[in-house]
């Protein structure tokens, strides 16, 4: 975000989704080239996701979809798996009026972290990632995020053509379990 450090950000592999909601056909990150892409990684029972991250993602979807911002939810369940199965997520999306596409991060065979979350090395939920029109990761943030700097970052990405430099990689203070609005992946798992 504006004013944050801008370390080199890694190139991320395509997401792995076991089920989609709010889209007629499966989406690939690669198919969204040309748009600025905001990925909100969340869990439906993560308090900070419910109170802050998802309402903000919803607001961005409503106000900026026509301006070229694609909002994608990524349900990255790494705890309480039985309580957050896809049928429960479906009820959650309905009750919270979330209408942007949401993909269920594919479960892994050898651990609690789902595949995309592990491949992208996410620290927990909520995690927000911004990709530019060329599909490159440009910012990443774990934890609560403020509207103003997020708006500035989106404005900068919308203004540029498909070629640019990293914007930011940052994280909140979460250090395990859910606290201060964010659920961190325990150290042992990451």
Q: Specify the residue, 16 or 160, whose C-beta has the smaller distance to a copy of itself.
A: 160
Shortest Å distance, C-beta 14 to a copy of itself:
27
Which residues of 4-100 form beta strands (DSSP E)? 17-21, 36-42, 69-75
Q: Does residue 27 belong to the site contacting a copy of itself (CB under 8 A)?
A: no
Shortest Å distance, C-beta 130 to a copy of itself:
11
> For a copy of itself, what does the binding mask look like between residues 142 and 171, x meaning CB under 8 A?
----xxxxxxxxxxxxxxx-----------
Q: Does residue 51 belong to the site contacting a copy of itself (CB under 8 A)?
A: yes
For β-strands 182-184 and 124-125, DSSP reports them as: antiparallel
Q: What are phi and psi of 51, to 5 degrees?
A: -85, -30
CA distances 133 to 70, 178, 181, Å, are 10, 33, 30
Shortest Å distance, C-beta 178 to a copy of itself:
6
Q: Does residue 82 belong to the site contacting a copy of itself (CB under 8 A)?
A: yes
Q: Please identify which residue in 37, 64, 118, 128 interacts with a copy of itself, judged by CB under 8 A.
A: 64
CA distances 70 to 65, 116, 130, Å, are 6, 19, 10
Q: Please identify which residue in 24, 95, 109, 110 interacts with a copy of itself, judged by CB under 8 A.
A: 95
Note the residues at the interface with a copy of itself (CB under 8 A): 2-3, 45-47, 50-51, 56, 59-60, 63-64, 66-67, 80, 82-84, 87-88, 90-92, 95-96, 146-160, 178, 183
């Amino acid at each position: 975000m504006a004013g944050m450090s801008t370390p080199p950000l890694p190139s991320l592999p395509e997401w792995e989704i076991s089920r989609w909601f709010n889209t007629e056909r499966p989406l690939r990150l690669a198919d969204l080239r040309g748009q600025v892409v905001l990925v909100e990684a969340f869990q439906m029972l993560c308090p900070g996701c419910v109170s802050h991250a998802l309402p903000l993602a919803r607001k961005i979807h409503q106000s900026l979809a026509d301006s070229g911002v694609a909002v994608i939810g990524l349900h990255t369940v790494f705890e309480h798996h039985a309580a957050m199965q896809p049928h429960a997520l479906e009820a959650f999306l309905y009750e919270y009026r979330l209408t942007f596409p949401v993909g269920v991060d594919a479960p892994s065979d050898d651990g609690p972290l789902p595949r995309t979350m592990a491949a992208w090395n996410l620290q927990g939920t909520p995690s927000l990632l911004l990709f530019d029109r060329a599909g490159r990761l440009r910012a990443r943030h774990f934890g609560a995020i403020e509207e103003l700097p997020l708006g500035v970052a989106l404005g900068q990405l919308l203004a540029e053509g498909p070629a640019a430099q990293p914007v930011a990689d940052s994280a909140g203070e979460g250090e395990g379990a859910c606290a201060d609005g964010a659920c961190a992946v325990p150290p042992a798992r990451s």
